[in-house]
Amino acid sequence: MLKIRYIALALAALASPGEAQSPASSAAQARVDSLLARMTLEEKVGQMTQLTLYPLLARGPQPRDSARIDLAKLRAAIVGRHIGSILNVHDGALTVDGWHALLRQIQDVALKETRLGIPILYGIDAVHGANYTQGATIFPHNLALAATFHRDVVRHAAEITAAETRASGIPWNFAPVLDIGRQPLWGRFYETFGEDPYLASELGRAAVIGMQRNNMLAATAKHYLGYSMPTSGHDRTPALLSERAVREYALPPFRAAVAAGVGVVMVNSGEIDGEPLHASRYWLTDVLRGELGFKGVVVSDWEDVNYLHSRHRVAANRRAAVQRAVEAGIDMSMTPYDFEFADHLLDLVRTGAISKKRVDDSVRRILALKAKVGLFDAPYPNPAGRTAFGRLEARAVASQAARESVTLLKNDGTLPLKPATRILVTGPAATSLPALYGGWTFTWQGNDTSRFQPGTPTLLDAIRRKFSSVTYVPGSSFDSIIDVAAAAAAARNADVAILVLGESAYAEGVGDVSDLTLPDAQRQLAEAIQATGVPTVLVLLQGRPRIIRRIADRSRAILMGYWPGAAGADAISDVLLGAVNPSGRLPFTYPHAPNALLTYDHKFTETFVPADSSQSGFAPEFEFGTGLSYTRFEYADLQLSHSTLNMSDTLTVEVTVRNTGERSGREVVLLFTRQHYGSLTPAVRRLRGFDSVTLMPGAAQRIRFRLLAADLAVIGRDGRAVVEPGAYDINVGGRTGTFQLRQGPAAGR
């Protein structure tokens, strides 16, 4: 894609990912080599050990904004046991000053009290902004960012996240999540960039480049590999995937991140087809290093080396677990509470079970990462860091991201609303900050509202600011009835009822569900309001699709807000008012029933139900890519540069997009391909390109995509990417063209 590739090149120049992929600069290299030559084995295994903050804290109550360290414990860990890395918060977000004080204390011990003075690499989950620092810019979660289909917005958000994280003194981020969202029961669905591997690859690449710009941070591509597709829907449980499926769906975003120079890869806590990833030499070494060419650090996830023994039961004891994980390719173990990993590793090397060279390889990578993020030259937090917060441009990007993510799924013309409309707002998410910010906000679960700045506006607050006649009746909480009759009575006096439903915040396995259906209390509330006959607008604040079948048809308009973060309340209320014209597109397939979990790229056989021809096997509530606007866009003059092309040719696809409505608006342009026949069953369609354009009423623009044969690759029977000759359709905005691909060697990207 011409335009896309042009942008990518410009970004590459900014972030120098080429350099990021190459060995550290020669000075850094020399420093790493010299350190390595002087390190004892104990010091080396220490570098491979990562502790969480908790065991280093003083006993008794902790201050809220900072951390009270037990210096003796800190010394025992850093001086006594030579640990190389620390992570996490003890409870919730610290102030910038709190972070600085903590990191100064840690680096003081590491630099002044150890033999070699190697700085500690501190890591944090800044997954939607620097969410563990008070005052940080909180962006929409990845699922909402994906709905923007906007690479630049994702890159900008990542740059700001990096700047604010580094300004807190922290040089390593456990983000971006590059798992694809195909299992909505799973409590981390919202952390993904949606269901499509191409979309996740493109946005993942943008996030990595933004985050690692000027080596501000080391980014982490996680969770390698197949983590997001547990068959049961439960976190950290088996994914029953063939190698072919892993390569088709799960691997591409990681390949893209490695190509963009990502510093770290974090491993999936679950398993693929019986093999825990932490024990998989095949995936961690042969594929990640051998095939993808990854040169950075592989970090385990939380306690996962131990779990090879205690949960996965592929190691008879913890020592065997360490051996298996290190042999598989783990460089650093997030132990995260004790030193057993280091003890066992030391013993394994001393007894010859693991070679010294194997340890040296890991330590070299860890030290190189420390050098790359500038820790040897600037180990302490920058006291001027505070000034990185509260910047106008950061707020502007958060606001753009939120505005472009809001997705209008249905509208019969009820929206936008006039400012004087008499509005009833009801439903639990209207007054809930966790339902606006989601998990990983100031605390892990994101549901401690005492951590938010007093006065942080809810969606109700924002609606009240923009409309003159607003009544609020809660009706129900997220899972129980409060007073549905009172809400219905209020609805009778309103012109429109805005039902704000969805989910309160959650993180990780805590958020797993075994039924996607919207909780009964919320459904009952919606049905009672709809029974009054008042027009209803459904606003969904949620981390995944909850089933709304029973209330969807009677909703006049449906807005998906996702978990849009700090600017979300404003963005959604502006969309309700028409001050913002919505342009988000659904980055996943919204199911109509709990068990109808097909994705947009399903197979042809899944589109019909043989037993009942009146039913389609694929009848989602809303398709992937759904997103309406208050204006109309028309597509015309789709042109393909070739009707028949060789594998070495470039296919140029052009289409004209025209705004034929009355408002200016942004249109996301999606390019799908469909392979007519394949050696394996082809998907009904695949997303192979996207772009966006903002047009004034009456204006038009020609959009151009460039496809190489390699962009049409699928994974064949033998697990290798293959581009198959034959007929393909191109579909952009409902316009279709067809071309024939001739046999021959394919040109790669």
Active site residues: 301
278 binds ligand BGC (CB under 6 A): no
Could you tell me what percentage of the chain is helix, strand and coil, using 3-state DSSP and rounding each to the nearest 5? 35, 20, 40
Q: How far apart are CA 566 and CA 437, in angstroms?
A: 7
Closer Cβ to ligand BGC, 88 or 476, answer by number: 88
Position among 44, 141, 222, 324 found at the interface with ligand BGC (CB under 6 A): 222
Window 80 to 99, contacts with ligand BGC (CB under 6 A) = 87-88
Q: How far apart are CA 438 and CA 128, in angstroms?
A: 10
Q: In angstroms, give the least distance from the CB of 302 to ligand BGC.
A: 4
Site mask for ligand BGC (CB under 6 A), range 620-649, x = bound: ------------------------------
Closer Cβ to ligand BGC, 190 or 302, answer by number: 302
Residue 231 carries which DSSP code? T
125 binds ligand BGC (CB under 6 A): yes
Window 299 to 318, contacts with ligand BGC (CB under 6 A) = 301-302
Host H or E run for residue 645: strand 644-645
Residue nearest ligand BGC, Cβ-based: 174
Closer Cβ to ligand BGC, 141 or 222, answer by number: 222
Q: In angstroms, give the least distance from the CB of 266 to ligand BGC.
A: 6
What would the two tokens of residue 17 be? 């990912």
Closer Cβ to ligand BGC, 56 or 537, answer by number: 56
SS3 assignment, position 176: coil
Q: In angstroms, give the least distance from the CB of 333 to ligand BGC.
A: 12
Q: How far apart are CA 143 and CA 181, in angstroms?
A: 8
User: CA angle 401-403-404, nearest 5°?
Assistant: 65
573 binds ligand BGC (CB under 6 A): no
# of chain residues touching ligand BGC (CB under 6 A): 8
Closer Cβ to ligand BGC, 131 or 411, answer by number: 131
Closer Cβ to ligand BGC, 254 or 302, answer by number: 302
Query: Where do we find the tokens 């309160």?
Result: 504
Task: Please list, residue by residue across 523-553, b when 16 or more beta carbons sit within 10 angstroms of its beta carbon and e when fewer do.
Answer: bbbbebbbebebbbbbbbbbbbbbbbeebbe
> At 154, which amino acid appears?
V
Q: In angstroms, give the least distance from the CB of 508 to ligand BGC.
A: 6
Closer Cβ to ligand BGC, 24 or 239, answer by number: 239
Site mask for ligand BGC (CB under 6 A), range 127-166, x = bound: ----------------------------------------
Q: How far apart are CA 429 and CA 539, in angstroms?
A: 9
Residue 449 carries which DSSP code? G
What would the two tokens of residue 567 be? 């600017």
Q: Which residues contact 526 (CB under 8 A, 6 or more apart)?
A: 427, 499, 501, 536, 538, 551, 555
Q: In angstroms, give the least distance from the CB of 87 to ligand BGC.
A: 6
Q: How far apart are CA 511 and CA 513, in angstroms?
A: 6
Q: How far apart are CA 651 and CA 641, in angstroms?
A: 6
Q: In angstroms, give the least distance from the CB of 174 to ligand BGC.
A: 4
Q: In angstroms, give the least distance from the CB of 267 to ligand BGC.
A: 10
Window 160 to 189, contacts with ligand BGC (CB under 6 A) = 174
Long-range contacts of the stretch 721-724 (C-beta < 8 A, 24+): 721/247, 722/679, 723/647, 724/675, 724/678, 724/679
- In residues, how long is the chain? 749
Window 481 to 510, contacts with ligand BGC (CB under 6 A) = 508
Task: List interacting residues with ligand BGC (CB under 6 A).
Answer: 87-88, 125, 174, 222, 301-302, 508
